[in-house]
Amino acid sequence: MELFIDSADIDEVRKAARLGVITGCTTNPKLAASAEPGDFRKRVEEILAVIDGPVSVEVVDETVAGMLAEAAEYASWDDRVVVKIPMCLEGLEVIHKLEREQDVRVNVTCMMNSNQTAMAMMAGATYVSLFVGRITDMGYDADVTIAETAQLIEHGGFKARIIAGSMRGVGDIQRSFLAGAHIVTTPYKLLPAMIHHPRTVETIAEFKSAWDEARKSGSVG
Ligand code: E4P
């Protein structure tokens, strides 16, 4: 069970990394476009410097040749760069080539059901990303999709690891792990929310005030 940070914003990635619970990072073109402007390679290198694990970087070209060229560029930046390939027919061809012929790790992205994850895994994907928030938006049960993919991994003997992404709230994180996701990738804002509980805050304050009172009255030195 692992947590990744879903961000291309280096300040958020740094804050998340300091918490000691983050073992990887996922970016996408929309996240990269909304982060601080600047050289993309430099930004990915900054992320790699603070995250110990894999960092996913997504291709945007829609042709097989174009995706392979982008993938080769990203993969040359660092061994920990995982190339994100969107689920489509051209993508399947690219996944197979990268994983089986070029020894490049692939995260297949933008997936909404277990037919897609099955195809990605048969093509050789290391990571399969299910977009929980978007699946839920369409009225489907993302837990079922995650559980089906976990079952396919077992049944097909695949090496793939399930990444649950598109997190909208802490309930999504909780349910995704319980449904069988190996990894949840989350925006930074859900990390403080994961540990917040008003009774915890109250209890900490109650203990501190009892201690402060006792110090003041001299009953503890
Ligand atoms: C996962 O790798 C994606 O970056 C991601 O979680 C996208 O989710 P969203 O665009 O639905 O928020």
Residue extents of the structural domains in the chain = 2-188
Question: 161 CB under 6 A from ligand 1?
Answer: no
Cα angle 53-59-65, degrees, rounded to a multiple of 5: 125
Active-site positions read: 84
Question: CA nearest 77: which of 108, 56, 63, 97?
Answer: 56
Q: What is the pLDDT of residue 38?
A: 80
Ligand 1 atom 10: residue of nearest CA: 166
Count CA within 13 A, CB hemisphere, residue 164: 34
Mean pLDDT score, 92-97: 97
Would you place residue 34 in the very low, low, confident or very high pLDDT band (cuts 50, 70, 90)?
confident
3-state secondary structure (DSSP) of residue 188: coil
**CA Rg, the chain, in Å?**
20
Is residue 166 in contact with ligand 1, taking CB distance under 6 Å? yes
- Both tokens of 16, joined, read 């998340």
Which CATH architecture best describes the domain 2-188?
Alpha-Beta Barrel (3.20)
Question: Measured from the CB, is residue 185 less than 6 Å from ligand 1?
Answer: yes
Q: How far is the CA of 31 from the centre of ligand 1 (A)?
A: 8
Q: Please give the pLDDT value at position 37.
A: 75
For 191-205, what is each residue's pLDDT tens digit?
999 999 999 999 999
**Bridge partners for 3 per DSSP:** 22, 184
- Band (61; pLDDT cuts 50, 70, 90): very high
Type of residue found at 23: T
Separation between Cα atoms, residue 113 and residue 109, nearest integer Å: 11
Cβ(131) to ligand 1 under 6 A?
Answer: yes
11 - beta bridge partners?
none
187 CB less than 6 Å from ligand 1? no
Atom of ligand 1 at shortest distance to CA of 134? Answer: 11
52 vs 55: CA distance, rounded Å: 9
Supply the pLDDT for residue 107. Answer: 98
Q: What type of residue sits at position 109?
A: T
CA-nearest residue for atom 5, ligand 1, is 166
Q: What is the mean pLDDT of the chain?
A: 97
CA of 182 to the centre of ligand 1 (A): 16
Q: Give pLDDT, residue 36.
A: 76
- pLDDT tens per residue across span 120-129: 999 999 999 9
pLDDT of the residue at 221: 77
